[in-house]
Amino acid sequence: MDMISRVLYIDLTNRRYSIKERPDLFEKYIGGSGAGSALLLEECPQGVDPLSKDNPIIFAVGPLNGVFPIASKTVAMFKSPHTGDLGESHCGGRTSVAIRLAGFGAIVIKGKSDIPVYISIHGGKVFFKDATTLWGLGNNATVGRIIREREEGSGFRTIMRIGKAGENLVTYANVSAESFRHFGRLGLGAVFGSKLLKAIVVYGNESVPVIDSKLYRETYDEIFNAAVHSTVMKKYHDLGTPMNVLPLNEIGALPTRNLQNGKFEGSDKVSGENYLEHYLGRRVACAHCPVSCIHIAALREPYDDEPYFYKTSMISYDYEPIYALGTMLGIDNPEGLLKLLDKVEAFGIDAISTGVVLAWATEAFKKELISEKETLGLKLQFGDQTTYMEAIKHIAERSNDFYLNLGKGAENASKIYGGSEFALTYNKNEIAGYHTGPAYHLGMILGARHSHLDNAGYSIDQKVLTKQALSEEELANMIIEEESWRNVLSSLVICFFAREIYTLDVVKKTLKIMGLDKTEQEILEIGRQIYMNKFKFKLREGFSFDKLNFPERIFETPTPLGNLDRKFMFGVLNIIKETVLENLSNPS
Amino acid sequence: MRLSVIDTEKCVGCELCMFACSRRFGEGGLEKSHIWVRSIGGFERGFRVIVCRACNDPPCAKVCPTDALTIREGGGVMLTASKCIGCGNCRDACIIGAVFWDEKNNKPMICIHCGICAEYCPHGVIVLQEKEK
């Protein structure tokens, strides 16, 4: 195998590093999620405090990164400060190409620095640099700008950094890369913050050998042509992910005002179509992806205090942030919503969790579970964008105990102030934007990292359940199969948007070109093992299927498939529980 | 025929051109890329595309002490690697930075205007066209 099997171990406490060859990991688990979860089981001590020095940060890429198109993602693994169990997050930008072409398959960071630092990885060496002056900067973009000018390697590097929310240990703080991409959800930013690690720059421009150059070029062209000339990537290409807004609204699956409704009367204004027509200012791509799904709005605003002065901000917009900070908060002003997106970007805080947390807080305020005493005078109200701007700042800066509690998630806050029936979380993680039917909610609660992308239950709702009913066993099997397969893709590491291109035979062929000769059956089995390894970690850290619960709200608001059937949902949950526990007690 | 950068404002920074150039040598990665895409200062500002523009009377060839770089018909220059002593004069003479360096062999990497980068540009930012006289 090539340099994919090299793992870089960094010790922040002693400012040392070492490189080890770990072909065992990459031959057995491919890379990405597979190698990353195996490393997490090795490196993370049982029961460790996620914000202590012993929680490792693991970045893992796969054999296809830097070699095939749309293999553009890096997987981060850590113990999540948000959920207390598995922390897994995927990011594009230039992260994966830079890490892979720096000659590493994975990077493991442990320990804690005594002063703020940033790390620069360059030419096979690790440099520890003083980041004291970067600590506390108000806007995450400034951090990127300063490091960009201090470090070499433009075009061949990634700059991953945290904002104030990460420094302040908000448990859903992000790590941002290349201005607009993120290791979102589950709080990797807080883990960085707890180690006084402000940023990591990785530079890489090496070449990667392949087994058969001719077959490599042919296979590359097949994938490239499918990505560019077929329709499978069209939806990401044209309107980008916000193309979901109107269709989901149409069927009544667009969570609105804390999921009190599945339709939003202002959906036209925050739709992908409206942003395209009035605001789209530029499109950009992750490295090695021809799709360029990253849509950036240009927002021109006057300065209130000085006439004839304007600023133009470039703000990335996607479906999930539009859902969380838009429809969930009843915001129908497209410019106001862009400002909210810009705000969470500046603080480096997860857009989905922030929106869902604020939606809970707004309802709790209305129901008088909390008052202006808690909110520091803010009258939280659906549709009031300026008040939400203030609230986001308070969360990121942990202005008082209430905002500190909000900064640990909606489930945490609802345990303190009440209102758990409308706190939209699964295993403490805030829900994403699809009220499509039972499979979405089951997929999210049963996903190993509780992400809507784990197994895409919303796709089962829309493509299968609209046409036919499924038994509990059938739905459970579909969720397990899809999630197992996605663990293969996230070990390569492919962007899930390209899942229709990277079919099993394409995956088999590309792996062979990289020197990993596996049968289709073996590949599928690896996916299942990775899925089980994640549950192994979760269960070790206190996760329990029996503690999972659905917030009452999801049963109150009908989905396009009707009201959710509680008995059916618990039935599916139970089957997956038994399958996972049986697999873990009898590993094949 | 020579490469022309038509409109950098349409460049999305995907770097498929760079990967295509490197792939000519039968491998993945970016080490052998003779074209360079970099942001102007953050992705929000867009990108610049740096590639040989096949100058008339190319400065890189003029400063070569061993005549390793010769004028290529149709635009650009050609490298005779056996003559090159790796002095780096050509790299210094190219003020747009389009002479890249092969560190392992200590030789310049000279664009041959084959157009493979343009073939893989999904947005028509670069094209291969007749050189204007």
pLDDT at residue number A280:
97
- Nearest CA to CA, how far is B29 from chain A (Å)? 4
A213 contacts in chain B (CB < 8 Å): 26-27
Q: Are A483 and A499 in contact (CB under 8 A)?
A: no
Which residues of chain A are within 8 Å of residue B28 when distances are taken between CB atoms? 66-68, 207-210, 216
Does some domain include residue B18?
Answer: yes
A282–B contact, CB cutoff 8 A:
yes
A101 neighbourhood in chain B, CB within 8 Å: 29-31
> Exposed, middle or buried by CB within 10 Å (0-12, 13-18, 19+), for B8?
middle
CA pseudo-torsion sign A110, A116, A122, A126: negative
A95-123 per-residue burial string, b: 16 or more CB within 10 A, e: under 16: bbbbbbbbbbbbbbbbbbbeebbbbbbbe
Tokens linked to A128: 């520890």
Q: How many residues does chain A have?
A: 588
Q: Model confidence at A289, in pLDDT bands (50, 70, 90)?
A: very high
Residue of B nearest to A70 (CA): B14
Count interface pairs A-B at CB distance under 8 A. 102
Q: Least CB-CB distance to B31: which of A207, A216, A284?
A: A207
Contact B30 A154 (CB under 8 A): no
pLDDT value at residue A588: 60
Alpha-carbon gap: B105 to the closest alpha carbon of chain A (Å): 14
Task: Tell me the longest C-alpha to C-alpha distance in chain A.
Answer: 72
Residue A268 reports pLDDT greater than 60: yes
Instruction: Report whether pLDDT(A318) > 80.
Output: yes
* pLDDT greater than 80 at residue A35: yes
Q: What CA–CA distance (Å, rounded) separates A546 from A544?
A: 5
Average pLDDT (B82-105) is 97
Instruction: Name the residue facing A290 among B14, B27, B38 (closest C-beta).
Output: B14
Q: Would you place residue A335 in the very low, low, confident or very high pLDDT band (cuts 50, 70, 90)?
A: very high
Cβ of A284 within 8 Å of Cβ of B122? The answer is: no
Residue B13 lies in a domain: yes
Sign of the dihedral through C-alpha A449, A564, A480, A242: negative
pLDDT grade for B73, boundaries at 50, 70 and 90: confident
Interval A362-387 mean pLDDT? 98
DSSP-assigned letter for residue A420: G
- A312 part of contact set with chain B, CB < 8 Å: no
Mean pLDDT score across all residues of chain B: 94
Q: Answer yes or no: are the C-beta atoms of A154 and A199 closer than 8 Å.
A: no
Mapped onto helix, strand or coil, the DSSP state of residue A551 is coil
Lowest-pLDDT choice from A191-200, A409-418, A518-527, B74-83: B74-83
Q: Enter the pTM of the model.
A: 0.97
Domain of B21?
1-51+111-127
B12 touches chain A (CB under 8 A): yes
- CA A440 and chain centroid, separation: 17
Round to whole Å and give the CA distance between A530 and A56. 19
At A230 the pLDDT is 82
d(CA A255, CA A434): 7
Q: Look at residue B89 and tell me if it is in a domain.
A: no
CB contact under 8 A, A292 and B122: yes
Contact status of B27 with chain A (Cβ, < 8 Å): yes
Distance of CA A209 to the CA centre of its chain: 30
What value does the mean pLDDT take over residues A214-242? 91
So what's the ipTM on this one?
A: 0.96
Residue B119 lies in a domain: yes
CB-based contact, A260 to chain B, within 8 Å: no
pLDDT (0 to 100) of residue B30: 97
B118 lies in some domain: yes
Q: What is the pLDDT of residue B133?
A: 55
Residue A516 distance to chain B (closest CA, Å) = 16
Alpha-carbon distance A529 to nearest alpha carbon in chain B (angstroms)? 29
CA distance A554 to A425: 10
Which tokens go with B123? 């947005």
Question: What is the CATH number for B17?
Answer: 3.30.70.20
| pLDDT computed for residue A15 by the predictor | 98
pLDDT tens readout for residues A224-235: 999 998 888 887
pLDDT of residue B132: 65
Please state which of the ranges A2-6, A515-519, A552-556, B17-21 shows the lowest mean pLDDT.
Answer: A2-6
> Helices A520-540 and A472-492 sit at what angle, rounded to 10 degrees?
100
A586 has pLDDT over 90: no
Position B78 pLDDT exceeds 80: yes
| The Cα angle at residue A312 between residues A321 and A342, in degrees rounded to 5 | 25
Q: Is the CB of residue A251 less than 8 Å from the CB of residue A466?
A: no
| Between residues A509 and A229, the one the model is more confident about | A509
Minimal C-alpha gap between A66 and chain B (Å): 5
Confidence of residue A553 (pLDDT cuts 50, 70, 90): very high
For residue A461, CA distances in Å to A87, A208, A346 come to 26, 41, 35
* Total tally of structural domains belonging to chain B: 1
List the 372-391 stretch of A: residues with Cβ below 8 A of B. none
Q: Which residues of B are less than 8 Å from A238 in CB distance?
A: none
Average pLDDT of the segment spanning A305-333: 97
What pLDDT, on a 0 to 100 scale, did the predictor assign at position A492?
98
List pLDDT tens digits, range A427-476.
Answer: 999 999 999 999 999 999 999 999 999 999 999 999 999 999 999 999 99
Q: Which of A13-17, A105-109, B45-49 bottoms out in mean pLDDT, i.e. has the lowest? A: B45-49
| Whether the predicted pLDDT of A45 surpasses 90 | yes
pLDDT tens digit sequence for A565-574? 999 999 999 9
- B36 lies in some domain: yes
**Collapsing DSSP states into helix, strand and coil, what is residue B71?**
strand
What is the pLDDT, as a whole number, of residue B75? 82
Which domains are seen in chain A, by residue range? Answer: 3-203 (3.60.9.10), 237-412 (1.10.569.10), 430-585 (1.10.599.10)
When pLDDT is cut at 50, 70 and 90, the band that residue A539 belongs to is very high
- How much is the average pLDDT of A137-147? 95
Which pLDDT band holds residue A142 (cuts at 50, 70, 90)? very high
**Residues in A 37-66 with any Cβ partner in B closer than 8 A:** 66
A1 has pLDDT over 70: no
Quick check: is B63 in a domain? Answer: no
The partner residue sitting opposite A156, judged by closest CB among B26, B30, B41, is B30
* pLDDT of A417 above 80: yes
**Model pLDDT, residue A231:** 84
Task: Give the dihedral of Cα atoms A368, A370, A374, A375; nearest 10 deg.
Answer: -70
* Peptide bond preceding A61 in cis form (omega within 30 of 0): no
Q: Is residue B84 part of a domain?
A: no
Phi, psi of A157 (to 5 degrees): -140, 165
Rg of chain A in Å (alpha carbons): 22
Please tell me which of the candidates A144, A217, A284 has its beta carbon nearest to residue B12: A284
Whether A273 contacts A253, CB under 8 Å: no
Q: What is the DSSP letter of B130?
A: P
| Token digits of residue B121 | 């540009």
Nearest to B44 among A66, A216, A314 (CB): A314
